[in-house]
Amino acid sequence: MVKVRHLVFILGDQLSAAISSLDQADPALDVVLMCEVMEEATYVRHHPKKIAFIFSAMRHFADELRQRGFTVDYTVLNAPDNAGSFSGELERAIKRFDPEAVRITEPGEWRVLQMMEAWAETLHCPVDILPDKRFVCSRSEFVAWAKNRAQLRMEYFYRDMRRKTGLLMRGEEPEGGRWNFDAENRKPASPDLFAPKRQGVVPEVITREVIDLVGRRFKAHFGSLTNFDFAVTAADAKILLDSFVTHQLPTFGEQQDAMLSSDPFLSHSLLSFYINAGLLDPLDVCKRVEAAYLSGDVPLNSAEGFIRQIIGWREYIRGVYWLKMPDYRDVNFLKAERPLPDFYWTGETDMNCVHTVVSETRDNAYAHHIQRLMITGNFALLAGVRPQAVHEWYLEVYADAYEWVELPNVIGMSQFADGGFLGSKAYAAGGNYIHRMSDYCGTCRYDVKKKTGEGACPFNALYWDFLDRNVEKLKRNQRLGPVYATWGKMTEVQKNAYRQSAAAFLAKLDGAVRTY
Ligand X SMILES: Cc1cc2nc3c(=O)[nH]c(=O)nc-3n(C[C@H](O)[C@H](O)[C@H](O)COP(=O)(O)OP(=O)(O)OC[C@H]3O[C@@H](n4cnc5c(N)ncnc54)[C@H](O)[C@@H]3O)c2cc1C
Q: Rule CB under 6 A: which residues touch ligand SF4?
A: 351-353, 431, 434-435, 440-441, 444, 446, 448, 457-459
Instruction: Say if strands 169-170 and 173-174 run parallel, antiparallel, or are unpaired.
Output: antiparallel
Least gap, CB of 340 to ligand X (angstroms): 13
CB 307 within 8 A of CB 249: no
> Near ligand X by CB under 6 A, which window of 93-101, 161-169, 403-411, 474-482?
403-411
Q: Is 115 exposed, middle or buried (0-12, 13-18, 19+ CB in 10 A)?
A: middle
Binding-site partner at residue 406 among ligand SF4, ligand X, none, CB < 5 to 8 Å by type: ligand X
Buried b (16+ CB within 10 A) or exposed e, 314-334: bbbbbbbbbbbbeebbebebb
310 or 444: CB nearest ligand SF4: 444
Sign of the dihedral defined by the CA atoms of residues 417, 423, 426, 428, in that order: negative
Is 301 an interacting residue with respect to ligand X (CB under 6 A)? no
211 or 461: CB nearest ligand SF4: 461
Is 396 an interacting residue with respect to ligand X (CB under 6 A)? no
331 or 405: CB nearest ligand X: 405
Is 405 an interacting residue with respect to ligand X (CB under 6 A)? yes
In 3D, which of 300, 288, 403 has the Cα closest to residue 43? 403
Respond yes or no on whether the N-terminal peptide bond of residue 341 is cis (omega within 30° of 0). no
Question: Binding pattern to ligand X, positions 244-283, x when CB under 6 A?
Answer: ------------------------xxxxx--xx-------
Is 11 an interacting residue with respect to ligand X (CB under 6 A)? no
Question: Binding pattern to ligand X, positions 413-432, x when CB under 6 A?
Answer: xx------------------
**Length of the chain in residues, anyone?**
516
* Residues in binding contact with ligand X, number by CB under 6 A: 28
DSSP string, 38-93: HHHHHTTT--HHHHHHHHHHHHHHHHHHHHTT-EEEEE-TT-TT--SSHHHHHHHH
Instruction: Say if strands 173-174 and 6-9 run parallel, antiparallel, or are unpaired.
Output: unpaired
Binding-site partner at residue 116 among ligand SF4, ligand X, none, CB < 5 to 8 Å by type: none
> Near ligand X by CB under 6 A, which window of 85-93, 189-197, 395-403, 438-446?
395-403
Question: Which H or E element spans position 466?
Answer: helix 458-469
- Catalog residues that contact ligand X under the rule CB under 6 A: 268-272, 275-276, 306, 309-310, 313-314, 317, 368-369, 372-373, 377, 394, 398, 400-401, 405-406, 409-410, 413-414
